[in-house]
Amino acid sequence: MAQEDVFKKLVAHCKEYGFVFQSSEIYDGLGAVYDYGQNGVELKNNIKKYWWDSMVLLNENVVGIDSAIFMHPTIWKASGHVDAFSDPLIDNKDSKKRYRADVLIEEQLAKYDDKIEKEVGKARKRFGDSFDEVQFRETNARVLENQTKRDALQNRFVKALNDSNLDELRQTIVDEEIVCPVSGTRNWTDVRQFNLMFSTEMGATADGAQKVYLRPETAQGIFVNYLNVQKTGRMKIPFGIAQIGKAFRNEIVARQFIFRMREFEQMEMQFFVRPGTDPEWFQQWRQTRMNWHQALGFGSENYRFHEHDKLAHYANAAVDIEYRFPFGFKEVEGIHSRTDFDLSQHQKFSGKKIQYFDPELNESYVPYVIETSIGVDRMFLQIISAAYSEEELVSEDGKKDTRVVLRIPAPLAPVKLAVMPLMKKDGLPEKAREIIEDLKFDFNCQYDEKDSIGKRYRRQDAIGTPFCVTVDHISLEDQTVTIRYRDTMLQDRVPISELKNIIAGEVSMKKLFAKL
RNA sequence: GCGGGAGUAGCUCAGUGGUAGAGCAUCAGCUUCCCAAGCUGAGGGUCGCGGGUCCGACUCCCGUCUCCCGCUCCA
């Protein structure tokens, strides 16, 4: 089966079995926004619990917070998002290629530099040791001509950027006769500004309102609370702050189902360390995080690290953990060494001292930060992708058959067990209800009496229920039931009184933590 | 945002200028009983939405929304 087909089936399966629906579907939907259904929300909550517990419960030096989505607008200036999240884009009408207008102009500046360096290089070769480079640069006609053009372009470019003058940016591209590298033409569209941050207004009256942004990442909520948590929690470096929350990005192109959404959820942990120890903590967290992923048992060969060669403005090291999705290896989690960039920026913009007094060193410093950042929705998609399988079965009498089963790790499964009477009579339904009454406070249970028992098993397979408990006539005599396992389809007969223990052992998060 | 393709029942799809179909799924009843597809019956669609042409539009035209593929972007 082709991989795209697998992906299509996944999307269909997610809808058909109540995992993921398109947002506002009865109104034709809303682009790149999705809702989680009755089973999806359970799986999602379990993923968050797996992460949260592995961070906050398992590490005594990691604590959690829940910061607001709205934050002071200056935070986004300090973080660099106001500048970096808004790109002026221009399309070439012939090649249909899109470029960042500022990048095109920067490349043009580089071309002037190349021309100048070429002249200088030629002269150096010609004159050898006696070459006076400074004088050459100041006097050579060709160098001066290019330098003048370059400076003029530079000034014009900076002014246009500062004024956010998009027409001027376009005119600059036209005047410089910049061509599309693909089509070679100068048939450009207008320059348009894409702001990747959503904004709204706070304050009821129009004149008193201030522009606020929906956070494009949860990290800043942690940084601006660094002092609060460190002081009130009496935290000693190294320590971490974890947070799970929604973030919003107005993506130009948001596609591939829930892989890239405009409203998404992040699970982030910022780990504050002594400057200079950041490389070793970076190594440690990258391994810890990989272990967390692989503990789910989907096969280590399906994961890999992807080292960044191009680093974001705040980072001195960055690596992604990628999973082999049906559409290729894609990022699920990022581990970034963010240096002291964020805390220093907030120190600068807020005017508050954000430092840690290290008693061992007897000095104060701005801590360095190692960030682990994972998308809940991507993790959800990763698990569904990994868990989805179509199996060919051959029954005892040789009949061929297929089943669709979600092999979700039991601790993450939306429904832990289904209890069903073998037949809808003779008191079996009542007995089944009785069992559910006893277990429903411990596990998410489902009752089903409709259709044949085999069909009911398949329905549970399709949503990844790890255990099916069946009540038959023997149950009424000796208080035992059969428990059928999703992955093997095998059954055991066990006393009803032991059900709780058996299932609890299998669905506990401890089962996963044991592998960390 | 550009180019290409698509949108008919919960799902997969058929249909075609003349009152909307199938299979599966759902629900009710019966039957069998430990691995889907037994019998009987029922519900469910203003054919993505809006406009136009026409006596008449699911079908033709225009617009729009959404999805898929490619480009582009990705902290």
Provide, in whole angstroms, the distance separating residue A468's CA from nucleotide B17's C1': 54
- Write down the ipTM of this complex: 0.84
My answer on whether omega of the bond before A367 falls inside 30° of 0, hence cis, is no
Q: Provide the total of helices (H) and of strands (E) in chain A, helices listed first.
A: 18, 23
| pLDDT exceeds cutoff 90 at A91 | no
Protein-contacted positions of strand B (CB under 7 Å): 1-3, 7, 10-12, 25-28, 31-37, 48-49, 65-75
What rounded mean pLDDT belongs to chain A?
Answer: 87
DSSP run (H or E) holding A369 = strand A368-375
Q: Lowest-pLDDT range, A10-24, A272-286, A301-315, A450-464?
A: A301-315
Distance between the alpha carbon (CA) of A21 and the C1' atom of B13, Å = 21
Q: Cα(first)–Cα(last) distance of chain A, in Å?
A: 34
Instruction: Give residue-wise pLDDT tens across range A200-232.
Output: 888 876 677 788 889 999 999 999 999 999 999
- Residue among A288, A245, A104, A267 nearest A178 (CA): A104
Q: Which nucleotide is nearest to A313 (CA to C1')?
A: B75
Q: Give the residue-averaged pLDDT of A285-291.
A: 95
Contact assessment for residue A271 and residue A230, using Cβ atoms and an 8 Å cutoff: no
Q: Please calculate the CA angle A44-A48-A49 and round it to the nearest 5 degrees.
A: 115
How far apart, in Å, are the Cα atoms of A315 and each of A185, A337, A338, A370, A373? Answer: 37, 5, 4, 9, 13
From residue A511, alpha-carbon distances to A279, A295, A483, A516 in Å are 31, 9, 19, 10
Q: Residue written as tokens 């005594």?
A: A60
State the residue for tokens 């240096």: A339
Q: Which nucleotide is nearest to A7 (CA to C1')?
A: B68
Q: What is the pLDDT of residues A339-358, one digit of tens each?
A: 999 999 999 999 999 999 99
Residue A104 has pLDDT above 90, yes or no: no
Neighbouring C-beta atoms of residue A431, cutoff 10 Å: 19
Q: Residue A1: pLDDT band by 50, 70, 90 thresholds?
A: very low
Report the distance from CA of residue A264 to the C1' of nucleotide B58 in Å, as an integer: 37
Q: Which residue has the higher pLDDT, A340 or A160?
A: A340
The whole-model pTM stands at 0.85
- The CA–C1' separation of A21 and B60, in angstroms, is 34
Q: DSSP per residue over A424-440, as a string?
A: SSTTHHHHHHHHHHHHT
3-state DSSP assignment of residue A151: helix
pLDDT of residue A329: 84
Does the pLDDT at position A258 exceed 60? yes
> Among all strands, which nt has the closest C1' to A99 (CA)?
B72
Query: Among all strands, which nt has the closest C1' to A256 (CA)?
Result: B68
Can you give the distance from the CA of residue A431 to the C1' of nucleotide B40 in angstroms? 29
Return d(Cα A350, Cα A345) in angstroms, integer: 8
A34 contacts A258 by C-beta, under 8 angstroms: yes
**What secondary structure does DSSP assign to A447-460, as a single string?**
E--SS-HHHHHHHH
Protein CA A38 to sugar C1' B2 (Å): 38
> Cα–Cα–Cα angle for A238, A241, A243, nearest 5°?
160
Helix (H) or strand (E) holding A241: strand A239-248
pLDDT category of residue A253 using cuts at 50, 70 and 90? low
Neighbouring C-alpha atoms within 13 Å toward the C-beta of A254: 18
pLDDT band at A85 (very low <50, low <70, confident <90, very high): low
Nucleotide nearest to A80 (CA to C1'): B75
Question: What's the pLDDT score for residue A484?
Answer: 95
Average pLDDT estimate for A193-198: 76
pLDDT at A4: 58
At residue A21 the predicted structure's pLDDT band, cuts being 50, 70 and 90, is confident
For position A366, what pLDDT does the model report? 96
Instruction: Please report, rounded to whole angstroms, the spatial distance between the CA atom of protein residue A36 and the C1' atom of nucleotide B14.
Output: 32
Which residue is nearest to the C1' sugar atom of B12, using CA? A12
Looking at residue A176, its pLDDT comes to 83
Structure token digits, residue A162: 């500062």
How high is the pLDDT of residue A9? 81
Instruction: Give distance CA A28 / C1' B64 (Å).
Output: 11
Q: Span A249-277, mean pLDDT?
A: 86
3 state DSSP class of A359: coil
Structure tokens, A242: 């974890």
Give the closest nucleotide to A23 (alpha carbon vs C1'): B66
A89 SS3 class? strand
Nearest residue for B3, CA–C1': A96
